[in-house]
Structure formats: structure tokens, C-alpha cells
Amino acid sequence: MPARAHGRAADAMRAVRLETGVQKFAEGSALIEVGDTRVLASATVEKRVPPWLIDSGRGWATAEYAMLPSATPRRNQREVTRGRPSGRSTEIQRLIGRSLRAVLDLTALRDHTLILDCDVLQADGGTRTASITAAWVAAVEACAARLLTGDLERWPFGAQVAAISAGIVDGEALLDLDAAEDQSAEADFNFVATSDGLLVEVQGTGEKRGYRRAELDRLLDLGLAGIDELMERQRRTVAATLAEVEAVTGKPDRRPAPAKDEKDLWGEP
């Protein structure tokens, strides 16, 4: 197979940069850079819930996703000018919402809605997975702000969540596909997992051919290893915030469970 960009090994991620506090008015915000992909995530907590949750004792989390017109080589028309989000954007924002709800105690968000806004500034593959990873960081910052002011009575997060892509290119399993690799992939996957060892979502498609069980196992191993790296970056980024939360709640941040062997998750191939 041809050499990967920047000389990356098959199991190597692109360079990752993650920072918080990038928006003045957002309760929580995070900018993630994964190679040439850049996503801005912001989080807002509002004192309202959808109609079906009124008087339920629960809160909610939802997301919006958009790609800026010049995020790709060819300008994209703003979806607002078409009057509604595209099917792709709708799918991705639902994925982001599901991923965050997987690690939230919605009763701790009672009568509140956590809104995640993920805007792609530059797209070079993996925008949905980068959005999920950054959204957790932004959400932690926003919920901590509300907890420290007494608006939330309990800390709502029980674990971390992050996501990454992997795929088969020229017969080889690769981690964290850039746009060129994604476009030529024979099979393309997105993995979402939590820090306590649970898979939230596995999206996989045979783009040019079917894939074997052994290939799926290899991709899953790559994806979970990459997610572990991303979670370490998340923890470092919000360490000061979580220390403040621990001082208020007296509960330490939950650490990720050791990665489980593939055969323990799914059985022998």
C-alpha cells in the first residue's frame, strides 16, 4: 500500500489538538484539530425540556451539526438557505446526541436540556467522530459551570465518550482515515465507545466489497485503541475543571476500565 500522509503507521492517529474556552459567551466550548480536520463544539444548558419530558424528572441532551461553506475544497451551500438540514447532517447530529446521552445521568439534568452545537470549520475526514470527542469536552465545561453555581444539584456524567474512524484501504486496516483514504476505502467504519468499556455505536459499510469477521475484529481493535488515546487527551484537557467538580461533589472522576479482549466482547471468530 502507498505510504500514508505524514508517514503514519497503519495504527497511528493524526496529530490531535484539543482546547477549551475558545468562545467568550458559550458555557462550554472546545476546538478539536485532528490532522487538517477542525471542529468547534459549544455546549449550552437551558432550563427547559422537550414536551414529552415535562414532569418526568429527567433532562435531555441534543445536538446540532453543520459544515461551514468553505470547510471543503468546493463551497457548500448553507443548509439554512435550503430551509432544512441535509439527511447527512440530521444523521450526524442524532449520532452526537445519542453518544452524549450514553454517558449522562438524565435525572441529574432534571428539567434541563444540554445542547451541543458542532460546526465543522475544515473537513479532511472524520468530522462526525471529532465532533463527538469535542462535544464531550464542551459538555463537561458547561455542566461544571452550572454545577458550581448550584443550578445543577448533581454531576451528570458517569463516563467519557469519544469516537474515531477506521477502514480498509488497499487491503490494509487503517486507523483514523483522512479524506483521501476515506474516499478510496474498501470498507469504512466509525466507532463510538465509553471510558467504562461500552460500545455506543458501530457504523460500518462495505464501500467497494464486503469485509470478513477477522477484518472487522482488526478494525475494532484499532478503533478502541485510538479512542483510549483520545480519552487521555480529553482528561488532560478538562483536568482542572474536573478537579473543581470533585472538590464540590467529593466524587473522583471515574477512570476508564481496562480495554477488554475482543473474544470477551464478541466470542471467538
pLDDT of 81: 72
pLDDT at 67 over 50: yes
Q: How confident is the model at residue 264 (pLDDT cuts 50, 70, 90)?
A: low
Q: What is the Cα–Cα distance from 96 to 26, expressed in whole angstroms? A: 18
Q: Starting from the edge strand earliest in sequence, which strands make up the sheet with 187-194, in order? A: 172-175, 161-169, 187-194, 199-206
pLDDT of 64: 95
Mean pLDDT, residues 89-118: 96
Mean pLDDT, residues 224-238: 98
pLDDT at 259 over 70: no
Which residue in the block uniquely carries the three cell numbers 473474544?
A: 263
SS3 content of the chain, % helix, strand, coil (to 5): 35, 25, 40
- 21-30, 62-71, 231-240, 254-263: which has the minimum mean pLDDT? 254-263
pLDDT of 2: 56
pLDDT of 201: 97
Mean pLDDT, residues 64-84: 82
Q: What is the Cα–Cα distance from 246 to 92, expressed in whole angstroms? A: 32
Per-chain mean pLDDT for the chain? 91
Cell representation of residue 168:
480498509
pLDDT of 113: 97
The pLDDT tens digits of the residues spanning 48-61 come to 999 999 999 999 99
pTM of the model: 0.89
SS3 state of residue 173: strand
pLDDT of 85: 77
Q: How confident is the model at residue 223 (pLDDT cuts 50, 70, 90)?
A: very high
